[in-house]
Amino acid sequence: MNKIKEMGKSLVHAYRCDVSDKNEVFKVAAKVKKEVGDVSILINNAGIAPLRTLLNYDINEISRVVDVNLMAHYWTMKTFLPNMIERNHGHIVAISSVGALYGIPHGTIYSATKIAIRALMESVSEELRMYSKGKSSVKFTTIVPGIVTTGLAKNARPRFPWLVGTYSAQHIASLIIDAQRRDFKEKSFPSYSLLIFAILSRGQRSYGEEVFKSKEYGR
135 CB-near residues (< 8 Å, 6+ apart) = 88
**Annotated catalytic residue: which of 57, 102, 110, 217?**
110
13-217 under CATH 3.40.50.720, yes or no: yes
d(CA 23, CA 20): 9
Confirm whether 15 is a catalytic residue.
Answer: no
One digit per residue, pLDDT tens: the chain, 219 residues? 666 666 666 678 889 999 999 999 999 999 999 999 999 999 999 999 888 899 999 999 999 999 999 999 999 999 999 999 999 999 999 999 988 887 778 889 999 999 999 999 999 999 999 999 999 999 999 999 988 887 665 556 666 666 677 888 899 999 999 999 999 999 999 888 888 777 766 555 554 555 555 444 443
Q: Give the domain ranges of the chain.
A: 13-217
The set of residues, in sequence order, having a beta carbon less than 8 Å from that of 98 and lying 6+ positions away, is: 144, 145, 146, 147, 164, 165, 188, 193, 197
| Sign of the alpha-carbon torsion through 201, 206, 207, 212 | positive
146: three-class secondary structure by DSSP: coil
